[in-house]
């Protein structure tokens, strides 16, 4: 998982750096050639994109640094931890939910990725199949039964987990 995340982040940084150094200056130069910069939407859009790309590169470099600080050998093999895929039964909705437990910057509940720093992520850590957990969230509590889970070691060959 670590190698896969590092490769993806490095690839994304390289693509954004290319855009920042080659494509955006070209777009700005073309927009400047069109004349009046006050009302030149292409010029202003390129400058805004340039600011966004610089910020995004900084965020990705920070994520790479954070990723290098994780001691992957400390992740448990016999209970839920970072990188685990967890299948839960939610009592309130009487439905199954699957979550991947990911690093904080990778969380996206709509994609089924829950940060290990979130209340649900923290509440699931260290548990096992069959455990019933009650997790306090800002809106109240959630009650789950853990139907099954796979650790990062089980999912290592699965390209969808944690991506």
Task: Find the helix or strand (DSSP H, E) in which 97 lies.
Answer: strand 95-102
Report domain extents, the chain.
2-69, 75-155
CATH number, domain 2-69? 1.10.287.180
pLDDT tops 90 at residue 121: yes
Per-residue pLDDT tens over the stretch 4-55: 778 888 999 999 999 999 999 999 999 898 888 888 888 999 999 999 999 9
Sign, Cα dihedral of 110, 111, 112, 113 = negative
Q: Which residue in 41, 18, 19 sits closest to 30, CA to CA?
A: 41
CB 103 within 8 A of CB 161: no
Q: What's the mean per-residue pLDDT of the chain?
A: 88
pTM of the entire structure?
A: 0.65
Per-residue pLDDT tens over the stretch 61-85: 988 887 787 777 778 889 999 989 9
Task: Provide the CATH topology of domain 75-155.
Answer: Chitinase A; domain 3 (3.10.50)
SS3 110: helix
CB atoms within 10 A of CB 13: 18
């Amino acid at each position: 998982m670590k190698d896969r995340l590092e490769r993806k982040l490095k690839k994304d940084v390289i693509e954004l750096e290319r855009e920042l150094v080659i494509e955006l200056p070209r777009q700005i130069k073309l927009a400047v050639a069109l004349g009046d910069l006050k009302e030149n939407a292409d010029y202003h859009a390129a400058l805004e994109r340039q600011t966004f790309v610089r910020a995004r590169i900084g965020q990705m470099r920070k994520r790479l640094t954070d990723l290098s600080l994780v001691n992957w050998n400390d992740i448990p093999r016999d209970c839920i931890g970072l990188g685990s895929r967890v299948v839960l039964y939610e009592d309130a909705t009487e439905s199954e939910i699957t979550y991947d437990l990911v690093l904080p910057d990778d969380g996206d509940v709509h994609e089924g990725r829950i940060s290990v720093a979130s209340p649900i992520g923290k509440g699931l850590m260290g548990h096992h199949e069959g455990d019933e957990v009650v997790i306090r969230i800002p809106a109240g509590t959630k009650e789950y039964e853990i139907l099954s889970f796979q650790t990062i070691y089980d999912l290592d060959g699965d390209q969808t987990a944690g991506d």
